[in-house]
Chain A
Amino acid sequence: MTNIIPAVSTTGLSKSYGDTVVLHPLTLDVPKGEVFGFLGHNGAGKTTTIRLLTTLLAPSSGTTRVAGHDVVSDPLKVRAAIGYLPENVRLYDRFTTRENLTFFARLSGVANPVDAVRETLDFLDIAPLADRRVGTFSKGMRQRVGLAQAILHAPQVLFLDEPTSGLDPMGVRQLREIIEKLHARGMTIFMNTHLLSEVARSCTSIGVLAHGKLVFHDSMQAVADKYDERSLEDLYVGVAARTPEVAA
Chain B
Amino acid sequence: MTPARFIARQSLAGLTRDRSVLILIAFFAAMVLVTAWLGWSATNTVNAIYADAATYLSASGQPVPPNPVSQTASLAVLRNLGVYISLIGAFGSIVIGQLLIETDRRAGTLPLIGARPFERRDLALGKMRALVTATGAMMAVAGIISVATLVTIPSLVVGPGDLLRLALFLVAGWAYITIFGFLALGAAARMPATASGLIAATVVWLVVTFVLPELTANVHPTAAINPVSTLANTPDLGFFHVMSRVLGPLSLAEGFAWLSGDLLSFLPDGLAPRGPIPPAVTLSVALILAGLFAARSAAKLDLNAGGPDA
Contacts and interface: CB of A to CB of B under 8 A. Distances in A.
Interface of A: 15, 17, 20, 22-23, 43-49, 51, 54-57, 76-77, 79-80, 82-84, 86, 88-95, 99, 103-104, 106-109, 149, 212
Contacts of A84: 111-112, 115
Interface residues of B, number: 29
A86 B305 contact: yes
Contacts of B58: none
Nearest to B17: A94
A15 B119 CA distance: 23
A46 B117 CA distance: 23
Given A83-B115, A92-B10, A94-B17, 16 more contacts: A15-B310, A45-B310, A47-B310, A54-B115, A55-B114, A76-B117, A77-B117, A79-B118, A80-B117, A86-B111, A90-B107, A90-B108, A94-B18, A99-B13, A103-B6, A212-B310
Interface centre among B111, B119, B305 (most CB of A within 10 A): B111
Contacts of A86: 108, 111-112, 305
Nearest to A135: B107
A107 B6 contact: yes
Contact of A17 (B1, B108, B308): B308
Contacts of A212: 310
B310 A56 contact: no
Contacts of B143: none
A89 B111 CA distance: 9
B67 interface: no
Contact of B109 (A46, A88, A90): A90
B310 A107 contact: no
Contact of B118 (A22, A76, A99): A76
Interface string B299-310: 000011100111
Contacts of A108: 116-117
B136 interface: no
The 3 closest A-B pairs by CB, nearest first: A48-B310, A90-B108, A80-B117
A56 B308 contact: no
A109 B304 contact: no
Interface string B99-111: 0000100111101
B247 to A, nearest CB: 39
A89 B95 CA distance: 25
B42 interface: no
Contacts of B113: 107
Quick one: which of A43, A49, A51, A54 has the most chain B CB within 10 A? A51
9 contacts: A56-B114, A82-B115, A92-B109, A93-B107, A94-B17, A95-B14, A104-B116, A107-B116, A108-B116
Contact of A88 (B10, B108, B115): B108
B112 A48 contact: no
**Most interface-central of A57, A80, A88 (chain B CB within 10 A):** A57
B221 interface: no
- Give the interface centre of A55, A92, A99 by most chain B CB atoms within 10 Å: A92
Contacts of A46: 310
Contact of A107 (B3, B13, B108, B111): B3
Contacts of B304: 51, 56-57
A95 B253 CA distance: 38
A104 B112 CA distance: 8
Given A77-B117, A106-B6, A91 B310 contact: no
Given A43-B310, A57-B304, A86-B305, A109 B117 contact: yes
